[in-house]
Amino acid sequence: MNVSYRNTDGDLIDFKGGNLVHKDFKLALNALIPHLALITEQREAYGRTLKDVRGDAITDESNDSVMKRFTVDTISFADDMQEVSIAGNRLLISKGVVSLATPKIRLDDTDDYQYVNELSLDIDAVVYEAKAYVTEKKWGVKEGTLEFSDINPFAGVQADEVPDVEPKEKGKGKKGKKAA
């Protein structure tokens, strides 16, 4: 994840995270996919409402699903976060990729985009998750498996059994200076 922001002193901070992003961040980004499809006037969204496109995204498990054919990878802000632009990609049937970018949308003007209120809420969710990644270290966890052999290292050992320990001899192994 790459995040650029201004801190309270006005310094521009460019943060490049090396950890996995949390699944909540991925879900927040995926909530922007129907907006990307609607604003860039893609065929999956043509003549449809945000609710319809979101509904397809949830219920359509086919490879033609909006959620499987689109990705959102960049959100850019301008004018003190009052203007937003979303960029992403569309996977073509021919397996090619087309880059998509929305024009700047004012988050305080419903004339630009009729679903600006929903877009604003979805943008807020992404910003919240990005801040949690940067400031609270809310990172994703890579789950793995541990392979154990059939040999049980605890076979024949009782839970209350104390192992025998050989005591060390005092004074051996210590290095120090002799007093003069």
Ordered mean pLDDT values, 10 residues apiece, the chain (180 residues): 73 74 86 93 87 72 68 87 91 91 89 90 90 77 72 74 74 57
Establish if 178 belongs to a structural domain: no
Q: What is the pLDDT of residue 65?
A: 64
CA-to-CA separations, 42 to 3, 15, 74, 89, 105, in angstroms, rounded: 28, 32, 18, 12, 17
Residue 25 lies in a domain: yes
pTM above 0.75, yes or no: no
In a domain, 165, yes or no: no
With respect to residue 66, please indicate whether it lies within any of the assigned structural domains: yes
In a domain, 20, yes or no: yes
Residue 46 within any structural domain of the chain: yes
Residue 170 lies in a domain: no
Query: Domain range for residue 21?
Result: 2-135
The reported pLDDT for the residue numbered 165 is 75
Which pLDDT belongs to residue 175?
59
Domain count, the chain: 1
